[in-house]
Chains A and B, each alone.
Chain A
Amino acid sequence: KQEVTQIPAALSVPEGENLVLNCSFTDSAIYNLQWFRQDPGKGLTSLLLIQSSQREQTSGRLNASLDKSSGRSTLYIAASQPGDSATYLCADEPSPRNNFNKFYFGSGTKLNVKP
């Protein structure tokens, strides 16, 4: 079974700082890696999807990279803002078997950006 780990569990930074969130997975034969944002008590919002043929994806101040050989993905947030405060989850999708894909989630990193 795929294991997905996110360290640290919580992170507090001052506004304006650049930061990196980490996601590691045990099976390097992944198909997709997806990053989500979750606000308290709310659903998950998709931030970035990296397909296995890609090494990174960018959206605004966010950049996600994927290194399958080391079993790691990172989410880089530039010039952090208080509005970035949320829990960030990564989910990987192992190589499809029998035409069906399942996703395995990390437990998330709770980010607090202080004004």
Chain B
Amino acid sequence: DADVTQTPRNRITKTGKRIMLECSQTKGHDRMYWYRQDPGLGLQLIYYSFDVKDINKGEISDGYSVSRQAQAKFSLSLESAIPNQTALYFCATSGTSVSEQFFGPGTRLTVL
């Protein structure tokens, strides 16, 4: 089984809709991240979490919110989706002693 899973894998929605992307991990890591990737660009950090009680904004947090429901779960919400949020979204985890990052398979989101 995959260590980092994301649901859904693909989603098409309309402008103004609320969307939630979910991430679960079985690696036992405290740190979790949400990134977005646009074609031809690197990954941009949206939000990150050090532990269940620690949530921090990344470079591009406007229009997004997150919830860390448990050590293993980190959800990303788009409160009112807009077309320029169409992108590939990745969840990642890392440990504290060695901060190697491990990524989920991604969610392809299209906002019409």
Which residues on A are within 8 Å of B, measured CB to CB? 4, 9, 31-32, 34, 36, 41-46, 49, 51, 89, 91, 93, 99-103, 105-108
29 pairs across A/B with beta carbons < 8 Å? A34-B100, A34-B101, A41-B106, A42-B105, A44-B90, A44-B101, A45-B103, A46-B100, A46-B101, A46-B103, A49-B98, A49-B100, A51-B98, A91-B43, A93-B99, A99-B50, A100-B50, A100-B56, A101-B31, A101-B94, A101-B99, A102-B48, A102-B58, A103-B33, A103-B45, A105-B35, A105-B44, A106-B42, A107-B41
Bound together, the chains give a CA A105 to CA B40 distance in angstroms of 12
Is there contact, CB below 8 Å, between B48 and A89? Answer: no
- Main DSSP-derived SS at the B contact region: strand
Q: What 20 additional pairs, Cβ within 8 angstroms, besides A4-B42, A43-B104, A49-B98?
A: A32-B99, A32-B100, A34-B101, A41-B108, A42-B105, A44-B103, A46-B101, A46-B102, A91-B43, A91-B101, A99-B50, A100-B48, A100-B50, A100-B56, A103-B33, A105-B35, A105-B43, A105-B44, A106-B42, A107-B41
Across-interface contacts of A89 in B (CB, < 8 A): 42-43
A4 and B45 alpha carbons, distance in the complex (Å): 14
Query: Which residues 75-112 of B have a CB within 8 angstroms of A?
Result: 88, 90, 92, 94, 98-106, 108
> How far is B94's CA from A51's CA once the two chains are assembled, in angstroms?
14
What is B's interface to A at a CB cutoff of 8 Å?
31, 33, 35, 40-45, 48, 50, 56, 58, 88, 90, 92, 94, 98-106, 108
